Amino acid sequence: MKCCADLHLFMRCSIFRKGDFLMVVWKNFDELDSYKKLNELGDRVDLPAVMSGASGEKRVAGYSVPMSSGLSYNFASKKVDDEVLGVLSELAAEAQLTDKFAALYNGEMINTGEKRLVLHQLCRGQLGSDVIADGVNKREFYLAQQHSAAAFARKVHSGEITNANGEKFTTVVQIGIGGSDLGPRAVYLALENWARKNDTFRMEARFISNVDPDDAAAVLGAIDIAHTLFILVSKSGTTLETLTNESFVKAALKNAGLDPAKHMVAVTSETSPLAKSSDYLAAFFMDDYIGGRYSSSSAVGGVVLSLAFGPEVFARFLDGAAAEDRLAANPDILKNPAMLDALIGVYERNVLGFASTAVLPYSQAMSRFPAHLQQLDMESNGKSVNRFGEPVSYKTGPAIFGEPGTNGQHSFYQLLHQGTDIIPLQFIGFRRSQAETDVVIQDSTSQQKLCANVAAQIMAFACGKDSEDKNKYFAGGRPSSIIVGEQLTPEAMGAILAHFENKVMFQGFVWNINSFDQEGVQLGKVLAKKVLAHETDGALKAYSDLLGI
């Protein structure tokens, strides 16, 4: 026990990499020397000044980190300078961010609360050493599921698997909630038009998530149920909303004279009640080492996306994510965009005091990506205790929201520009559209107008504008970064998804919290069961009465 003098301390470190003896120590953010240094730096960058003239031009050129898949992360309009970056680099080293990531991908039990490994990266590639858990090489397990989904999708596309009348399935409906819904739905919408343009569009996908019966009713009303394949997604096989919606769908299938078992597949864990049920045409597996919000790369995203766009497109999506994961292993923050993004976010949250972040993709296809990030970030880092269950005395995860531009410009940007709180901004933009159908109006295409708007907004937020009429005065100093790419391809989408997963993970490491559990969602579930069992009194009973239960 080289690293620790007593048992208490032992809990806070771990030795890993057989024969390598690297020590990882889990300390609270405010125990670090770099925490003090960062706070001493304070709010030091005058954005309107540094973004003006030659200085601004130099920052846009220099404050940029290559991502994979032709993307780059540009942070010229963040409130940082070389000194801040220097301390952030020290923080990365002192908090052992790279080592902790290595511990994670090498199979340490990073999710201490639930006593689980954290392995979603393994779905996309072998980043470190082999991870053997439950007697299984987990990379091989995830790969086998991916291949199984691919083979199934090919059979559906070729007509080898059909409905009872021998007719091809044309539509796929995913039944799942939370991570089984938001990520796969966001990615489906992001790539739908790309797939149509590139002749890889195979099946239309729809999603049923909410326990609100009107959700299932609306989807069922809009599809041709006889030619629809349903994917039931529940890791535990016990998710209330999902099982309820399954019954809803089964009833509809039976009403239509169809055999549910011929129209449904399951994505679940091998130990769930769904795993070996004859109720499903096929089953695909996930496990406890991939959290719902990190599951788009697993069978949770893989089955529906392989059916919708073909397995090759899903594989390209994974390749983009894998390439981004490799960048995230780099200890140099200027070569590791996810880590840099994370550290700037920590500086904004804990030193500059900004409480929320807006995600603003200038791409209508990414319309639901902010909702996915909202779950990813807020469910991972919305915690008040450290990984040892002790209250922390600093702010953790911010509130996340967003809508696509230019729509947001005609909506909530007013507050972003002139409101009394500063909200950091995450722009995303692409030089080319997906459909590549465009019109020239007033000497520019729609795509050029879209891109001109994002460039203009960044500068308007950073530099503002003086005015005698204070109603038309913009203080500026509102920081943003942008991820820029050539086009929203499967690789780019995978890379962007992985970027944010890794960003959130690094922030959790800095804050010394467990980003991989979600105990905060349990209490409501317990109380809802009491309401349904009519085991309530006091205000809960009064609310139940009010809601007619």
Stretch that binds its own copies, among 21-29, 47-55, 150-158, 225-233 (CB under 8 A): 47-55
Q: Which is nearer to its own copies, 228 or 396 (CB)?
A: 396
Q: Partners of 137 in the beta sheet?
A: 132
Neighbours of 332 (CB within 10 A): 12
- Is 423 a binding residue for its own copies by CB under 8 A? The answer is yes
Cβ at position 262, least distance to its own copies in Å: 20
Site for its own copies in 101-160 (CB under 8 A): 113
Q: The tokens of 295 are what?
A: 């599951």
- Is 365 a binding residue for its own copies by CB under 8 A? The answer is yes
- Is 170 a binding residue for its own copies by CB under 8 A? The answer is no
| Three-class DSSP category at 289 | coil
List 7, 166, 257, 547, residue binding its own copies (CB under 8 A):
547
Q: Which is nearer to its own copies, 330 or 544 (CB)?
A: 544
- Is 187 a binding residue for its own copies by CB under 8 A? The answer is no
Q: Which is nearer to its own copies, 5 or 546 (CB)?
A: 546
Look at the block and give the residue holding tokens 């208490």.
8
Catalytic residue ranges: 379, 410, 525
Contact 355, 399 (CB under 8 A): yes
- Is 39 a binding residue for its own copies by CB under 8 A? The answer is no
Residues contacting 412, CB < 8 A, separation 6+:
358, 403
**Cβ burial 47-78 (10 Å sphere, 16+ → b, else e):** bbebbeeeebeebbeebbbebbbbbebbbbbb
Stretch that binds its own copies, among 37-45, 163-171, 300-308, 360-368 (CB under 8 A): 360-368
Phi then psi for residue 18, to 5 deg, are -50, 130
Contact 476, 47 (CB under 8 A): yes
Q: Is 357 left (phi over 0), alpha (psi -120 to 50) or beta?
A: beta
Q: Which is nearer to its own copies, 148 or 507 (CB)?
A: 507
- Is 424 a binding residue for its own copies by CB under 8 A? The answer is no
List 20, 40, 57, 535, residue binding its own copies (CB under 8 A):
57
| DSSP, residue by residue, 299-364 | HHHHHHHHHHH-HHHHHHHHHHHHHHHHHHT-S-GGG-HHHHHHHHHHIIIIIS---EEEEEES-G
Cβ at position 283, least distance to its own copies in Å: 21
Contact 56, 76 (CB under 8 A): yes
Stretch that binds its own copies, among 85-93, 149-157, 262-270, 453-461 (CB under 8 A): 453-461
Of 374, 316, 328, 303, which is closest to residue 155 (Cα–Cα)?
A: 303
List 83, 134, 448, 535, residue binding its own copies (CB under 8 A):
448
List 14, 24, 45, 59, residue binding its own copies (CB under 8 A):
59
Q: Which is nearer to its own copies, 1 or 415 (CB)?
A: 415
- Is 254 a binding residue for its own copies by CB under 8 A? The answer is no
Cβ at position 99, least distance to its own copies in Å: 24
Number of residues that bind its own copies (CB under 8 A): 162
Q: Which is nearer to its own copies, 38 or 513 (CB)?
A: 513
Contact 502, 323 (CB under 8 A): no
List 247, 259, 271, 335, residue binding its own copies (CB under 8 A):
247
Stretch that binds its own copies, among 7-15, 18-26, 333-341, 540-548 (CB under 8 A): 540-548
- Is 229 a binding residue for its own copies by CB under 8 A? The answer is no
Q: Which is nearer to its own copies, 162 or 487 (CB)?
A: 487
- CA–CA dist 39, 42 (Å, integer): 5
Site for its own copies in 18-37 (CB under 8 A): none
List 71, 142, 514, 516, residue binding its own copies (CB under 8 A):
514
Site for its own copies in 292-351 (CB under 8 A): 292-293
Cβ at position 275, least distance to its own copies in Å: 20
Contact 203, 174 (CB under 8 A): no
Look at the block and give the residue holding tokens 């890794």.
502
- Is 5 a binding residue for its own copies by CB under 8 A? The answer is no
List 403, 499, 503, 505, residue binding its own copies (CB under 8 A):
403
Stretch that binds its own copies, among 27-35, 235-243, 282-290, 323-331 (CB under 8 A): 235-243
| DSSP-derived pairing of the beta strands 72-74 and 132-133 | unpaired
Cβ at position 543, least distance to its own copies in Å: 4
- CA–CA dist 194, 190 (Å, integer): 8
Contact 528, 128 (CB under 8 A): no
Distance set, CA 128 to CA 111, 205, 348, 477 (Å): 18, 35, 32, 41
- Is 199 a binding residue for its own copies by CB under 8 A? The answer is no
List 147, 155, 254, 472, residue binding its own copies (CB under 8 A):
472
Please compute, for residue 4, the number of CA atoms within 13 A of its CA located in the half-sphere on the CB side: 16
Q: Which is nearer to its own copies, 148 or 228 (CB)?
A: 228
Distance set, CA 479 to CA 324, 351, 476 (Å): 24, 14, 8
Q: Which is nearer to its own copies, 198 or 364 (CB)?
A: 364
Of 341, 266, 371, 386, which is closest to residue 506 (Cα–Cα)?
A: 341
Q: Partners of 484 in the beta sheet?
A: 72, 429
Site for its own copies in 60-89 (CB under 8 A): 60-61, 72, 74, 76-77
- Is 256 a binding residue for its own copies by CB under 8 A? The answer is no
Cβ at position 461, least distance to its own copies in Å: 8
